[in-house]
Amino acid sequence: MLSCAFRVLGAPLPKKQKCNRWSPCPKGSFAFQIVSGGGNKKLPKMCFEDEIILGDLNAGRGINIAYVNDNSGALVEYIHEMPNNSFVLMATFDDGSTKLKPEAKKEIEKLGSTLITKIAFRASWVFLGGKNITLPNDFRKEKLLWCKS
């Protein structure tokens, strides 16, 4: 099978922007992408301002977490030690629920999660929140595929 790509004369080819986006971010905002893992084979990825901060080389089983601060153990301690006014990005890989204790779920809820208590075994979950940061109400902060009822 032969495939060809045609280009309308005078129309520029689309150019990908930061973090694989097709449109540039407005001034004063950040480009990011959070992709959860799939089952126990596909690793999660996180990109912030066109820098891969989590991917094939450093992702692992469970909940993968990164925080970004303008100044650039344990999950609960990690969240407690996170500086105020930090963004936090999380993505699961393989299993982020089995060993997640209620105390850790409460800390993640404090960061803005509304779905952390619904994560089931091998669920795909991504989350963007912040410590002492309020995100716009119309902004999608979280996505969960496969949850317990």
Measure the CA–CA gap between 102 and 80, rounded to whole angstroms: 15
- Is the separation of the CB atoms in 130 and 88 below 8 Å? yes
Do the beta carbons of residue 86 and residue 133 sit within 8 Å? yes
Instruction: Identify the band that residue 12 occupies on the pLDDT scale cut at 50, 70 and 90.
Output: low
Is the pLDDT assigned to residue 131 strictly greater than 70? Answer: yes
Render pLDDT for 60-114 as a digit per residue (tens, 0 to 9). Answer: 999 998 877 654 447 888 888 899 999 899 998 888 888 888 888 999 999 999 9
**Residue 18 near residue 25, CB atoms below 8 Å:** yes
Say if CB 59 and CB 94 are below 8 A apart. no
Question: What CA–CA distances, in Å, run from 6 to 9, 12, 13, 14, 118?
Answer: 9, 12, 11, 13, 46
Strands (E), the chain: 32-35, 45-48, 51-54, 62-68, 86-93, 119-131, 142-147
The pLDDT of residue 3: 43
CA–CA separation, 65 and 53 (whole Å): 10
The DSSP symbol for 112 reads: T
More confident residue, 129 or 9: 129
